[in-house]
Amino acid sequence: MVFIMPAFLKKFNWRVLTGIGLFWLSQVTYAELSIHYAKTRLVDEVYVLDAQISYDLTEVTRDALQNGISLTLVLTMVIERDRWYLWNEEIATLKQRYQVKYYTLSDQYVVEYLNTGIEETFGSLNAALIRLGQLDSFPLLDQHLTQPDKRYWVYLQTHLDIESLPVPLRPIAYLSSQWRLSSNWYLCPLEP
């Protein structure tokens, strides 16, 4: 028995498959934010963090930056005390905010550390992102806030702050995977 499919169904299936394929391609993000390495150490009674982070932006976010849109990146650090019952106790949450800007006239990228107001200038976006990804001796927590016989953990995550974008761009950013850039949580022990 031979089944012959009507012509309109062939076109419908082709259109549906094309639509599904285009939707799938629109959801693929060709960039990522990721934390490759993190370690804590004790320096002068303060726990400090060393980390290596990759800020690989999408083509859409790079284009926006080239066209005068500033990008705000947020590094979140949560310190918790390990408990054998229920959930870990949150000791502190720190957020380090960075704003990356591009100045067309000088053809330079500026990274502003929003928590301190310090700015650094770079000749290329890659140089700026590499510098952002190198966290050295970032102060986390005073030693007197911890108990010597307890175990503590540091959770790290970085993301692009969509709320800091201009208002007309936010709905597009919420709907597009090209704007929703976020790393997975990275876990490391708080240790001297």
pLDDT score at 133: 94
| 16 found inside a domain | no
| 17 found inside a domain | no
Those residues whose C-beta lies under 8 Å from the C-beta of residue 142, and which sit 6 or more positions away, are 45, 46, 47
State the pTM of this model. Answer: 0.79
Those residues whose C-beta lies under 8 Å from the C-beta of residue 2, and which sit 6 or more positions away, are none
| 126 found inside a domain | yes
| 68 found inside a domain | yes
What is the domain extent for residue 79? Answer: 30-189
pLDDT score at 148: 86
| 133 found inside a domain | yes
Longest distance between any two alpha carbons in the chain, whole Å: 84
Question: What whole-number distance in Å separates Cα of residue 134 and Cα of residue 75?
Answer: 12
Taken in order 83, 158, 191, 147, the sign of the CA dihedral is: negative
| 82 found inside a domain | yes
Given a cut of 50, is residue 5 above it in pLDDT?
no
29 versus 71: the higher-pLDDT residue is: 71
Given a cut of 60, is residue 178 above it in pLDDT?
yes
Number of folded domains that form the chain: 1
Angle at 39 between CA 35 and CA 42, to 5 degrees: 150
